[in-house]
Amino acid sequence: AQTVTQSQPEMSVQEAETVTLSCTYDTSESDYYLFWYKQPPSRQMILVIRQEAYKQQNATENRFSVNFQKAAKSFSLKISDSQLGDAAMYFCAYRARRGGSEKLVFGKGTKLTVNP
Amino acid sequence: NAGVTQTPKFQVLKTGQSMTLQCAQDMNHNSMYWYRQDPGMGLRLIYYSASEGTTDKGEVPNGYNVSRLNKREFSLRLESAAPSQTSVYFCASSGRLNTGELFFGEGSRLTVL
């Protein structure tokens, strides 16, 4: 079964600094998606960034970028120029790319605090 | 565009009571999911439905039943609530691999006393 591990239960960063959240996963599939979701105190699950496994280029979305190492099964999230609004729980998630009904498997999350 | 709508947002139950969480999506998605979120555990899959008329167990199905009423609606039922079912419940849906992501409802906080 696929598993997703986030080894940092909590992280903190100073406003305007850069922080990296770690994620590793285990799968025997070759084609899959990886995601980072953000959950602010409002509880809403917000997609931050998506990576398709067949793409070698790391995904970027404004201040958010990933370091995708397929052989190492590692998928870290870098947040640059951190803002107070980035404070949230961040979940790494994996989804096999097969029939369209595949489950999303989540890590346990990293709570990010942004200090002014 | 409403996306995924869950009701109720909050509910308090007594042990042994039953209730149904309702979920509807307006994105014409085939697949729908129910997750529960507990502190330190991330989101764990309870049940999912790949298409209308089909349902399958996820990681933590015990104590729950589901119904895929039609393409839009996917309900989660607790027949005899237990304190261990105190949690935040999320419904989600996805289309046919166009982007791969799941779209989530706003969550329902359930407390069982």
Q: What is the pLDDT of residues B46-64, one digit of tens each?
A: 999 988 889 999 999 999 9
Sites in chain A below the pLDDT cut of 70: 99-101
pLDDT at B80 over 70: yes
Q: How confident is the model at residue B99 (pLDDT cuts 50, 70, 90)?
A: confident
pLDDT at B67 over 70: yes
Sort B65 into a burial class: Cβ within 10 Å, 0-12 / 13-18 / 19+: middle
Contact at CB, A106 and B51, closer than 8 angstroms: no
Contact at CB, B92 and A103, closer than 8 angstroms: no
The whole-angstrom separation of Cα B35 and Cα B46 is 5
Mean pLDDT score of chain B, rounded to an integer? 93
B2 touches chain A (CB under 8 A): no
The average pLDDT across B74-90 equals: 97
Contact at CB, A100 and B95, closer than 8 angstroms: yes
A45 touches chain B (CB under 8 A): yes
B90 touches chain A (CB under 8 A): yes
pLDDT of residue B100: 80
B112 touches chain A (CB under 8 A): no
pLDDT of residue A13: 97
pLDDT of residue B40: 85
